[in-house]
Chains A and B, each alone.
Chain A
């Protein structure tokens, strides 16, 4: 079955960096676009970034553009999120999600990982 497992979260000081990973299994990772979504404590969902199946297209939320970088290693079925210049407002649970392209009307996020908590605090 499809599984997504995030790791790499932890406590980091403001201005610091962190790299999140998401290991995928149970589907053909190299055929699927992937997303990162975050959720601050007690808040709603916020879409962060997308990467196309081959890594050639990437999109970011304005709130992280220039600070976060999404990438992937299809040989290792792994998605990454490099986070630099972290701020307290980046504190959140970060989820990776698989994109399912639809014949009509875009795509859906059909599988999600369990999330990894990032805490930015001094």
Chain B
């Protein structure tokens, strides 16, 4: 099975900051990676698919990059409503797996 790691598990940043959230796969997955945002008590929301394609309706301050084993979600200009947990997910092969998540807090 493909394992995803996300470190740190928690980060705190100020409004307007540029935030980068890494995700590493245990083996190469090309660009078979998605990013989700989840707020407490809510279902996850798709942000990015195919590693770098922005889902319709998602603000352009979110962007994704990377391929192979190293990926990054970037929030350019953090907003208060971006306080949430962010998960990466590989869709290269079953079983599909999620990373453990990075919780982003606003200072």
On A, residues with C-beta under 8 Å from B are 35, 37, 44-47, 50, 59-62, 95, 100, 102, 104-110, 112-115
Q: In the complex, what residues of B have CB within 8 A of residue A108's CB?
A: 34, 46, 49-50, 55, 91
Who on chain A is nearest to B85 by CB?
A44
A104 to chain B, nearest CB (A): 6
- Residues 86-107 of B, flagged 1 when their CB comes within 8 A of A and 0 if not, give 0101011011111111000000
Q: In the complex, what residues of B have CB within 8 A of residue A47's CB?
A: 89, 95-98
**Residue contact A44 to B32, C-beta cutoff 8 Å:** no
14 cross-chain CB contacts under 8 A: A37-B44, A45-B101, A47-B95, A47-B97, A47-B98, A59-B94, A61-B95, A62-B1, A105-B91, A107-B91, A108-B34, A108-B55, A113-B43, A114-B42
Count contacts between A and B, CB distance < 8 Å.
Answer: 70
**Residue contact A110 to B55, C-beta cutoff 8 Å:** yes
Interface size of B by CB at 8 A reads: 29
Given contacts A45-B87, A105-B49, contact A112 B44 (CB under 8 A): yes
A35 to B50, CA, bound (A): 18
**Residue contact A105 to B50, C-beta cutoff 8 Å:** yes
Is B79 engaged at the interface, CB distance under 8 Å to the other chain? no
A38 to chain B, nearest CB (A): 11
**Residue contact A110 to B46, C-beta cutoff 8 Å:** yes
Which 4 pairs across A and B sit closest by C-beta, in order of nearness? A106-B91, A108-B49, A112-B43, A105-B50
Q: In the complex, what residues of B have CB within 8 A of residue A105's CB?
A: 30-33, 49-51, 91
Q: In the complex, what residues of A have CB within 8 A of residue B99's CB?
A: 44
Who on chain B is nearest to A6 by CB?
B43
